[in-house]
Structure 1
């Protein structure tokens, strides 16, 4: 049965997905893009007065650092700017509006930390949805006013929209966090910590600063890995390849922002609450405290929660993206762009198909990284930073090799990213294997036939062998059909021989039927082999009547497992 932490995590995930669907949808329509990644780690167990105040104080370091870096980067950007750039209509006003919006978003960080630490996903949904709507309304209103009064159209409406976003976000976050601060009796301004050990300036917890420093170092390499695509493309690829890759990453990244990011953020909250140690530091260092039944049980719950997400990702992301999406993605994007778009080319279709295989690696790496960063010690985070350095070097080397030496273009960059994610996933699994051996003791006496905790985790994380085998066969069948189409299109001899047949058959209808048949096989296989997992996963959000029907099944199943 799902652990007690799962329903709360599931509900939070639903709220976060709702945030992303609404905000990204409105932003997509308004031709805007918002990317905000917040990494939270609850190191103090249940949120209380002192831990909340410590989080608020630490958030002001973000405000200070962001303000300093923003000022420096603004100067470095404006100082060498040419007169042509400064003479663009509305540029100066837009620049300062964006600067004001950035300051407002920075000032909302302490309130965001309070909301994230207390798992107030409903308040976060309200804040970000309101801010997204405000941005769209403000940008459209500014554009209409400029058009009405005959002003030259420029980036100014987008800057007005971003200012509205920052102001709305700051207002709603502050209102929500103020209620929590009033009930728990802490301040939203920097304040000295009471009865706290190992503090810096009586404001910041030293362990928290060390962890934040480790995350900061990692964020540099993650930024290099994220922005490395742009850097490598600008050096090795032409403008057309850069544009095609931007097209694929923007459309393919929608799934990551709509689904993966909310799941990762809510999972970090669940992992933080399950794995937070509530005993004082001196007691935590003793082996008996680290292996107490309560702590071991919470570690089991965290590992079960992770395996459930990995199992669901394999069924709902890995299998569809490796079988159906390579065939659907190019056609779907072609339909969205229009038949006469300059992007409808063989190069675009090839890249979109390759990007389909890259999406599952994004999903698996994201959730595994969320678990690792939630349980790793300061020393282990340091080793992870060293790993990130090595992975970054390998990624950049492979990207240069695939794009330049092998002349694969933007597709080579996708292959390099797949290798990059594979290495990071491998490291995460290696870390989890060691973590389970050190933190989850095996029952004694341990039967030789019973798998270890890590082996049980792997078994729970993957679907049945039958489901995986049929999925692999379906992928091979679809790939073979695609190769036949390529052969017919590029081989004049074959095309001449099959000319009459091609004319008589409706190949588009045949392709669609073939694809629907493959999808039906996959869905049927999942329903037959994974019905128990699917029912257990959706049970928290089922209506009461449906839950009353399936609950006896789970009760009887649990009783049989206990008897065995």
Structure 2
């Protein structure tokens, strides 16, 4: 059955997924309303300003957040609360410095065409103030994260998302009714509301923890001055954060590489269309992958990190006691379970159904006559559906690697990411400019980038398992890494049937062309329901494929599905399933 650590990880994951569903869902519907008022150029400019804000926040705070996740929870985390708060103020200072520098680099080459756009200057300052507010909330955030207060985090981010949605839509409606020239200003007003709400709610939640645990939310001298820089900052914590910092810069380049390349090779309208496509295509990644990765880092950190030396090797220098080997096996089992779930519910649907569903989705949500509804948008969404699985797999593998890697190995990973970043930007420029693939070429470059990172992570995990999980002498059983890879994949029957479904859906277009002269097929393809243009010939194929796919997964992966949902089931149901699961365990042994 599930361990206590995995149960806590599952609980944290559920809360984080809830946060993302509410906040991103509200953002999604808010943007849907805004699209009725703004043009692709307005959205393109909003993407640039948001990318500037994200760049400051990510490069300033990501390394400290990852470093803190390597510290064990519980009493050790409580004792280090003041050290975490003090270190967070370095993030505030660094973020303000980065914001000044990056804003100057953004504004200096900007021509009058950009600076003279209606609403640009107030929008720029509102985004800047919102960024400062999020930086000031960081000392409170690290306390909430360190004490695993997922309910408080859900409250803060949900409130902020609601505020952003209401503020942005209200600003757009007001400008429209006052017959003002529409601009990027509604997005900026929404971002300001988000930053202000986040700061207020985080501060309120963290102040209660600080009062009960007797530490300060302001910088305060540490008790162990011998192990602190300037008597304020924990040296071990800063050492780990420094090791992650260079890596965070290259992750930022990979994360924001799309915006950088697009801003150089495309105009604002093309950037807006790509932003729309990536928002639809990346909705699942923001709703599901991000909270799973954050929760998994916490689980891996609790299982595999030492409690007293977060900046040293994790388990490499420790003797291979049965308890430590068991923890390594638990971490590997947790990883393989997530990868297996990803394969069933993300990889297979994204390679079969999603490329066909996205064009229909755009026509349904935006309307056939919308200025956003174009062939370019549909092509981008279809291409993005192939990118989503690689994004998911890389995210969870990277969470494992950053949780167990030593400082030297993190350095090697940073060197690898330098090469990957350079290759990614070069391939993106080649696809977009030389091969004239446009924004679709940027998606293909992202896929290549993720494949290279996945290969590196698998190579690292293989070496890690060989060192930490010794093979049993005298037996020819496969290694722990090979067993984990086997458990990560669904059954051959499931993969085979999924392949047939994918081939059938790809052949659908050729069948439709061959039957183009058939009157019934032509009538079904032109059928309309109100404002919706629905091609019932295509929908019948999709519905049939979806039914076959779901049936295949339920029949071939029933045991895995039961094990996965078992922690969420009532006790009565668990007791009835227990004999079945024990029989399956005996068969596996």
Which residue of structure 1 lines up, in the alignment, with residue 475 of structure 2?
Answer: 447
Task: String of CA shifts for 1:73-113, please: whole Å, max 9, x gaps.
Answer: 44555677777766666655544443332222111101111
Q: CA deviation at 1:406?
A: 3.0
Secondary structure at the counterpart of residue 30 of structure 1 = helix
The CA deviation at 1:24 is 1.5
Deviates more, 1:186-195 or 1:260-269: 186-195
Provide the rounded CA distance (Å) in 1 between the counterparts of 2:187 and 2:544.
45
Answering whether residue 297 of structure 2 is matched by residue 268 of structure 1, we say: yes
Native 8 Å contact 2:306 2:314 kept in 1: no
**In 1: Cα distance, 2:202 partner to 2:268 partner:** 41
In the TM superposition, what are the counterparts of 1:450-489 in structure 2 within 5 Å? 450-485=477-512, 488=513
- The corresponding residue for 1:5 is 5
Q: Where does residue 324 of structure 2 map in the other structure?
A: 295
Q: 2:406 aligns with which of 360, 364, 377?
A: 377
Deviation at 1:358, TM superposition (A): 0.8
Q: Indicate yes or no: 2:87 matched with 1:58.
A: yes
Q: Distance in 1 between matches of 2:312 and 2:240?
A: 20
SS, match of residue 180 in structure 1: helix
Confirm or deny: 8 A CA contact 1:23 1:129 kept in the other structure.
yes
- 1:289 aligned counterpart, secondary structure: coil
Residue-by-residue CA offset, 1:179-219 (whole Å, 9 max, x unaligned): 22233332222223333764322322333223222322122
Question: Offset of 1:394 from its aligned partner?
Answer: 1.7
Q: Does 1:326 align with 2:344?
A: no
The 1:276–1:415 alpha-carbon spacing in structure 2 relative to 1, beyond 3 Å, is same
Q: Where does residue 147 of structure 2 map in the other structure?
A: 118
Deviation larger for 153-162 or 282-291: 282-291
- Assess if the C-alpha contact under 8 Å between 1:181 and 1:188 holds in 2: yes
Tell me the residue number matched to 1:100: 129
* Cα offset, 1:53, TM superposition: 2.0
Q: Is the 8 A contact 2:305 2:403 kept in 1?
A: no
Structure 1 match to 2:338: 309
Aligned equivalent of 2:248, options 202, 205, 219: 219
Superposed, 1:359-370 pairs within 5 Å as 359-370=388-399
Question: Normalised by the size of structure 2, how large is the TM-score?
Answer: 0.85
Partner residue in 2 for 1:491: none
Q: Which residue of 1 aligns with 2:578?
A: 551
Which runs of 5 or more residues in structure 2 are unaligned? 35-46, 526-534
In 1, Cα distance between equivalents of 2:311 and 2:521: 80
C-alpha displacement at 1:237, in angstroms?
A: 5.2
Distance 2:465 2:326 in 1: 12
State the 1:544 CA deviation.
4.1
Cα distance in 1, alignment partners of residues 488 and 232 from structure 2? 42
1:128 corresponds to 2:154 = no
Residues 98 and 277 (structure 1), Cα distance of their counterparts in 2 relative to 1, 3 Å cut? same
Return the alpha-carbon distance in structure 1 between the equivalents of residues 261 and 471 of structure 2: 47
Q: Shift of residue 432 of structure 1? A: 0.5
Contact 2:491 2:556 in 1 (8 A): yes
My pick for the range that moved more, 34-43 or 418-427, is: 34-43
> Counterpart in 2 of 1:432?
461
Q: How far 1:22 moved relative to its partner?
A: 1.3
Tell me, what secondary structure is at the counterpart of 1:272? Answer: helix
1:233 maps onto 2:228 in alignment: no
SS at match of 2:257: helix
Instruction: Find the counterpart in structure 1 of residue 517 from structure 2.
Output: 499
1:257 aligns with 2:286: yes
Instruction: Check the 8 A contact 2:77/2:146 in 1, yes or no.
Output: no
Q: Deviations over 1:498-530 (max 9, x none)?
A: 624665773543332222222222111111111
Q: Distance in 2 between matches of 1:393 and 1:464?
A: 37
Give yes or no for contact 1:464–1:529 (8 Å, CA) kept in 2.
yes
User: Kindly tell me: are residues 243 and 482 of structure 1, through their superposed partners in 2, closer, same or farther at Cα, counting changes over 3 Å?
Assistant: farther
Q: CA deviation at 1:419?
A: 1.0
Aligned counterpart in structure 1 of residue 415 of structure 2, from 372, 382, 386: 386
| Post-superposition offset of 1:297 | 1.9
Answer whether contact 2:71 2:310 (CA < 8 A) is retained. no
In structure 1, how many angstroms separate the alpha carbons of the residues matched to 2:78 and 2:436? 58
CA distance in structure 1 between the aligned counterparts of 2:185 and 2:277, rounded to whole angstroms: 28
The count of corresponding residues between Structure 1 and Structure 2 is: 551
Q: Does 1:172 align with 2:204?
A: no
Q: Give the whole-Å Cα distance in 2 for the aligned partners of 1:350 and 1:74.
A: 33
TM-score between the two structures when normalised by the length of structure 1: 0.88
Deviates more, 1:335-344 or 1:168-177: 335-344
Query: How far, CA to CA, are the matches of 2:470 and 2:289 in structure 1?
Result: 31
The counterpart of 1:526, out of the listed 553, 565, 588, is 553
Partner of 2:16: 16
Any gaps of 5 or more consecutive residues in structure 1?
489-493
Asked whether the 8 Å contact 2:167–2:186 carries over to 1, the reply is yes
SS of the counterpart of 1:499? coil
Q: For residue 77 of structure 2, what is the aligned residue in structure 1?
A: 48
**Root mean square deviation of aligned Cα:** 3.1
CA contact under 8 A between 1:190 and 1:203: conserved in structure 2?
yes
Contact in 2 for aligned 1:241/1:409 (Cα 8 Å): no
Shift of 1:470: 1.4
Describe the shift of the 1:412–1:452 C-alpha distance in structure 2 as closer, same or farther (beyond 3 A).
same
